Structure 1
Amino acid sequence: MKARTRWDAVCSVADLVPDSGIAVWTEDGPVAVFYLPDRLPALFAISHTDPFSGSNVLARGITGDLKGEPVVASPLYKQHFSLRSGQCLEDETVQVKVYPVLLDDDQIRLEIPVAQAAVAA
């Protein structure tokens, strides 16, 4: 059975900062939303939690490009995470969650898993 999801509005376009990330709260936990206006797609969303430290800091990381891959470098231990796949480039055993993201008029929406308790209600 496929997990249920919904598209939640998490911020507006005016909240975004070019070439940077912002942290938003979702039912699935903290998420980092990145706006890279010189790329297509320009919007990316990954878990805000750095898996190496457990701290919610990835939205504060430095964005960049490593061999054509859009990345964010964790501000704590400097590991790079792909904004497309969530894969840590320095440790292939570590990956952060990636969220589908879309622009809906002036709202940024993320596809978020729906909790099973919410589905039953």
Structure 2
Amino acid sequence: MSQWQRICKVSQILPGTGVCARVGEHPVAIFRPRENDEVFAISNIDPFADASVLSRGIIGEHQQALWVASPLKKQHFRLSDGVCMEDESRSVMSYAARVTDGMVEIAV
């Protein structure tokens, strides 16, 4: 059974952007791609650069899926599951994310 960690108000994440938060011991990138309350969470660590930067990436859509492009080396990670478009062996961890009563929560 998952426990949920409250992160912030969903209104504090501008649509089309991401933020970074510490969830347990892990830096997690949380994205709000649209104006609604849909949120996604993946590891914030870019496995190609070994840097905590994915939350600063650009969100885009490809083949009906949302992706974030790393701001450093431009690899793409699918927001729904962390799969890397260019090299699946370098995919990142994804986290269950939800909005409850206006608050973003991540499963730990």
Q: Given the two structures, how large is their TM-score scaled by the length of structure 2?
A: 0.92
Determine if the alignment matches structure 1 residue 16 to structure 2 residue 13: yes
Cα distance change of structure 1 residues 38 and 13 upon mapping to structure 2, 3 Å threshold: closer
Aligned length, in residue pairs: 108
Q: More strand per residue: 1 or 2? A: 2
Structure 1 position 36 matched with structure 2 position 33? yes
Unpaired stretches in structure 1, ≥5 consecutive residues: 113-121
Structure 2 gap ranges (5+): none
- C-alpha separation in 2, matches of 1:15 and 1:38: 12
Report sequence identity in percent.
37
2:62 to 42, 59, 66: 66
Q: Measure how far apart 1:38 and its partner are.
A: 5.8
Query: Based on CA coordinates, which of the two structures has the bigger radius of gyration?
Result: 1
Residue 105 in 1 paired to residue 91 in 2? no
After superposition, what is the alpha-carbon deviation per residue over 1:74-120, rounded to whole angstroms, capped at 9, x for unaligned?
A: 000000000011000001211101000111102100001xxxxxxxx
Q: Is the 8 A contact 2:18 2:29 kept in 1?
A: yes
AA matched with 1:7: W
Deviation at residue 9 of structure 1 after TM alignment: 0.2
Looking at structure 1, the residues matched to 18 and 65 of structure 2 have their Cα atoms a distance apart, in angstroms, of 16
Letter paired with 1:62: I
| Cross-structure match for 1:87 | 83
- Mapped contact 1:11–1:24 kept (Cα < 8 A): no
Verify: 1:50 aligned to 2:50, yes or no.
no
